[in-house]
A and B are shown apart, each in its own frame.
Chain A
Amino acid sequence: MDLKIDVEEKEEAVILKLDGEVDVYTAPKLKSRLIDLVDQSKFKIIVNLENIDFMDSSGLGVLVGGLKRVRSHDGAIALVCTQENILKIFRITGLVKVFPIFETESQALQGV
């Protein structure tokens, strides 16, 4: 089980494209990447979850931690996700009210 993270800069935002699984083993990799971006003064971040096969609360925790970091610099994190099994965990935990979730990257770029 691994997590691949591709980073792409578009307009004023940075897009993280995740591929694989986000769990207690792989979430530290995502956390580290988010911290690196904030350290590089990248405060508008889009996390694309379309190629994620699985995510649990470890991933949610990392995203919330990242959100707190960028918000302290007036930044934002937007998500791209249409997968029902991933959206479900955001609904159950109420995080759909915390993260703007878009169907496409272009929508997220306009909304972040």
Chain B
Amino acid sequence: MSKKVPTESKIRLVIPAKSEYVGLARLTIGGLVRNISDDEEVVEDIKLAISEVYNNIMLQTKAVEQSTVNLVINIYNDEICIDISCSGRDLELTALTPIVWSEPRDRGYGLSLITALIDKVELTQGPLNKTTLRLRKSLIV
């Protein structure tokens, strides 16, 4: 593993909670992870998970202008931990168990993908009692 970003780093990103910025969020996180892991599957898994979280936030914040998605990325020796919260409205991922549909649905796949791709997904209470979604993913293959 060639690491170009020092371990024990903390990086903060604040991105507008608008659909046109999801690509920017994904590419920024992807570029960062690519600098700490040579495993392209890890990079793609994290990019997809971030995109899914963003989708969820988009659904919740449609009516809230000026909302931002706040990402705090902690890089450890063998793990990346990403805390995601949203200004303007609390995250409402109250249930982290994916729903199994009896027939194909045109929505509701995001949580299944996040929990399948990320090693540990948890909801925590951040500053000011804001709900934060924490994603932990091992960088070791």
Contacts and interface: CB of A to CB of B under 8 A. Distances in A.
Interface in B76-120: 104-107, 109-110, 112-113, 116-117
A28 to B, nearest CB: 9
A54 B104 CA distance: 21
Contact of A67 (B48, B51, B104, B110): B104
Interface residues of B, number: 25
B109 A60 contact: yes
Interface string A1-43: 1000000000000000000010111000000000000000000
A17 B132 CA distance: 38
Contacts of B106: 61-62, 64-65, 68
Contacts of B113: 56-57, 89, 92-93
Interface stretch (B3-11, B19-27, B64-72): B19-27
Contact of B109 (A23, A25, A57): A57
Contacts of B107: 57, 61
Contacts of B26: 23, 54
**What is the interface of chain A mostly: helix, strand, loop, or mixed?**
helix
Contacts of A98: 104
Interface residues of A, number: 22
Contact of A93 (B19, B41, B55, B112): B112
B54 A64 contact: no
Interface in A57-74: 57-58, 60-62, 64-65, 67-68
Contact of B23 (A1, A57, A67, A95): A1
A92 B52 CA distance: 14
A71 B30 CA distance: 37
Interface of B: 19-20, 22-23, 26-27, 41, 44, 47-48, 51-52, 54-55, 58, 104-107, 109-110, 112-113, 116-117
7 contacts: A23-B51, A23-B55, A54-B47, A60-B109, A64-B104, A64-B105, A95-B104
Given A57-B110, A61-B109, 19 more contacts: A1-B23, A23-B51, A24-B55, A24-B58, A25-B23, A54-B26, A54-B48, A54-B51, A56-B113, A57-B107, A57-B109, A58-B55, A61-B107, A62-B106, A64-B106, A67-B104, A68-B104, A93-B109, A95-B109
